[in-house]
Structure 1
């Protein structure tokens, strides 16, 4: 059995929820349809003519990319322009394209975490907050016989986290009353008779990102035909998600030695550097993509160096004057997402019993060449 496109996109949005994206980012399904079975998926950083040909060659009906196919507004769809010809080729070959961009940058276990892990950074924190998970208080009434079963199902689905503490709840014993009417099938009591049941009111905290999953898990194992529960919005701040990561190296290294680590870990042929090569480096900020505007964020976080792409001349000058060290491995260092997304998605599909295959693109979409 092959997964439908909608199922695959739902899985991707579990990894990188859409609301994690920065405002106005071009994400989601951009070309084609998800309303069909998908035998093969191709994961790529960019969608280029060579990538489209690669997808067609392996028989992929869906491309998952990091960078948008349609980034700027298109006033027309002309096939005699590069952008128009690319979209026309995708439609001709019946290949859909789904974009996961800054939401994948922001997500825990996304691009910035993969880059930080590759550089062996520990004690990681977010560099720039983008989204804070809204919190809800869930209160549900459970018969004593199913108390632990329902509560544990909610915990397993993501409820009950307060800071670094999990399985947090408050439990109150009491008596519930109900009168089943015609057409009902009560777990306790009988139709037409006022019934009482020993119940436990369980209160726990649920983040927005896990709300649907927690409620679904609760309803699935709760024995009642009609489950009585309340959901309250809270003003308390939940977990923060954001762009970039800040962490520490296993040991102090010079900037020159750390630059070699960056080249090896991110698999790039060269890096550009700003700063003294002998400078000791321990605390590192990393941000995939273009991060010039986050130099001051890295300084404020106490980082010894910022690893990010697309550093322009004037930003480099300003950083040097401010005593901030930079390493630019290029925007294409985000290619780290290809094997990681492909592996994660493949595991999720197999776990659910789907035969859909996921491939990491082998096409090099780096536009720059060295001489």
Structure 2
């Protein structure tokens, strides 16, 4: 493992060797814009190699394409239009968030068959809100983790990312429970206690993931992967249970929604593989720095997964909306929607408490 002294010394040797050989590594930043020419945008510093950024920001087997640390807000906003190793990940979520919102607005037209915000459609509205929130928080975490040199700033953004995932998971659970479940699952023991159990599991998953980021520092060991994959995997299997029951007990040819649900499950499982395993970059470090590394594939697949699930829920909503109030009752539907707000508040408060504890811990460590 590099010490700070070795890192600085290695960086100096690399700079000297580049100047001595006359070879200049091509910059991946946007072209320089001179303020004297009246350019509206400032120039961005070129991307750097892994040894030029603190270990907190390095990804295993990704050797280049990193943005320098401790830049201004403006620089990180403008880096949206810069080629670096997070560019495709950021834009996949950003475009997905825009698509989710635009597609929902389109659905509220004639396609929604008289769609209006009432007790039967409120869970769908909350699902769309949770999807957009989660995608935007992921964009923020990917785009602004390098904003400050303070060690607790990136962790705070990672905590927000976990909050977004938890809120999205519960938004999915709420919509799938009410729109995508069948009578057999709804009347089962799991169906009767589904939302309270999901709320507890999702909240615990958020807590565990936040504490994992707090206690495991890079270079990450396999312990961190297990501590994050297991709670999120358990939460996902529970959230998706209304769909898996329906997939297992119904004929897929009778509806167009089940193939969409199956595709969503397959995409999520595939994204989980890339989240857990650094492939393909582990086979050729440095080759997939900009395009094709596992973190990037994970985010792209996750974005597509969200879009597919939204389409499936739109069709399920049209299928169930007429009988929804009769089957569940207005009070139960309103209580279910209120639980979404309660879960969101609990996750946000949890992230704030852990962030405060992180700041105290870093002060005690003198970091």
Q: TM > 0.5 between the two?
A: no
Higher helix fraction (1 or 2) = 2
TM-score if structure 1 supplies the norm length?
Answer: 0.21
Higher strand fraction (1 or 2) = 1
TM-score if structure 2 supplies the norm length?
Answer: 0.22
Bigger Cα Rg? 1
